[in-house]
């Protein structure tokens, strides 16, 4: 017997659920207002912040290539572009000042990293009497404004120079020592906070194998602390390169001047007509900081975050 197949009439009919009515398309005037309310103001804030940050740099670059060299005749786009300001700048002792700044900045950065790493390791790993008061004392010293200590630093350097002329006034070694002492407070706290994030089990495992504190410090802690070392290096270099007050007080001869002092004395003689050379000197002075930042940028973020998580 032949089996009959169900016809289309017998097949169950599937009913689709009712669809909601389609929303009316937004009007033409509503779309830009919605974009402005949700995203447009953010782009405006970013553009304003970028303009605020980049305008001084663009103005300095423009002034350094402006042939007039005058602040009164400054134009955003110099016409014509000239290197007269650099020629006038290089006729001074600019490269001597630049070399002195690099020597002071490099020595300060290296010395600060080493001394702060030693102090941070002691406060992070060792327990001794007076540990907490001295650590708080380092923090309190950073709250005092720098100009309060200028007179004391000057008198101290005069006294030291009577017995050790190589460490007194008008010496780069004396200036570096002042920077090393001033950098211990905040940098030690930052580095100690980073060292606290390194598991102490690594120290214990190394000590079980017979390692001393010196070996633990150089072979375990320092390799793991490269990010915070990079941050301290950059901060110390920028501080010594940009500082003016201490260098102006301690350096008294042209042969010992650094860039901030040398450029200030150069432009102060005729500020209105030496704005261009001064801008060119500032442009060259900022190049080492940019190069160092680009070289250390992959460590900077992790170093700052690591030093801010735990104290």
The tokens 């002792």 sit on which residue?
A: 93
Phi–psi pair at 79, nearest 5 degrees: -140, 110
What is the rounded distance in angstroms from the CA atom of residue 85 to the CA atom of residue 275? 9
Q: Name the nearest CA neighbour of 170 among 92, 252, 281.
A: 252
Counting residues of the chain whose pLDDT is more than 70, the rounded percentage is 85
For residue 281, the surrounding DSSP H or E stretch is helix 275-309
- Domain positions in the chain are 30-85, 92-309
pTM for the model = 0.79
- Is 80 exceeded by the pLDDT of residue 102? yes
31 has pLDDT over 50: yes
Tens digit of each residue's pLDDT (9 = 90 or more) over 52-72: 988 888 888 888 888 876 766
Average pLDDT over residues 177-203: 87
pLDDT per position as a tens digit, 283-306? 999 999 999 988 888 777 665 555
Those residues with Cβ within 8 angstroms of residue 106's Cβ, 6 or more apart along the chain or in another chain: 237
Residue 263 has a pLDDT of 92
> CA quadruple 237, 143, 182, 94: dihedral positive or negative?
positive
pLDDT of 247 above 90: yes
**CATH assignment of 92-309?**
1.10.3720.10
pLDDT tens digits along 106-126 = 999 999 999 999 999 999 888
Query: Among residues 158, 242, 232, 228, which one has the least CA distance to residue 195?
Result: 228
Which letter does DSSP use for residue 127 in this model? -
Quote the DSSP letter at residue 270: S
């Amino acid at each position: 017997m032949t089996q009959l197949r169900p016809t289309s009439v017998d097949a169950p009919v599937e009913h689709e659920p009712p669809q909601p009515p389609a929303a009316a398309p937004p009007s033409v005037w509503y779309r830009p207002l919605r974009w402005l309310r949700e995203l447009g103001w953010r782009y405006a804030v970013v553009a304003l912040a970028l303009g605020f940050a980049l305008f001084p740099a663009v103005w300095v670059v423009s002034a350094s290539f402006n042939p007039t060299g005058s602040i009164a005749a400054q134009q955003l786009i110099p016409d014509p572009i000239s290197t007269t300001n650099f020629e006038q700048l290089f006729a001074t002792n600019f490269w001597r000042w630049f070399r002195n700044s690099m020597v002071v900045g490099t020595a300060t950065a290296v010395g600060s990293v080493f001394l702060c790493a030693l102090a941070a390791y002691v406060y992070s790993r060792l327990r001794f009497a007076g540990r907490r008061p001295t650590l708080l004392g380092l923090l309190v010293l950073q709250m005092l404004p720098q100009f309060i200590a200028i007179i004391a630093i000057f008198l101290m350097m005069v006294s030291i120079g009577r017995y050790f002329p190589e460490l007194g006034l008008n010496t780069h070694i004396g200036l570096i020592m002042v920077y090393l002492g001033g950098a211990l407070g905040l940098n030690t706290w930052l580095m100690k906070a980073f060292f606290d994030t390194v598991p102490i089990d690594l120290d214990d495992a190394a000590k079980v194998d017979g390692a001393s504190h010196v070996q633990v410090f150089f072979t375990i802690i320092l390799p793991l602390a490269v990010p915070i070392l990079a941050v301290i290096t950059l901060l110390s270099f920028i501080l010594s390169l940009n500082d003016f007050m201490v260098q102006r007080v301690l350096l008294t001869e042209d042969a010992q001047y650094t860039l901030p002092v040398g450029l200030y004395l150069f432009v102060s003689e005729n500020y209105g007509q030496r704005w261009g050379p001064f801008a060119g000197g500032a442009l060259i002075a900022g190049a080492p900081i940019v190069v160092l930042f680009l070289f250390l940028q992959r460590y900077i973020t992790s170093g700052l975050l690591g030093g801010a998580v735990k104290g």
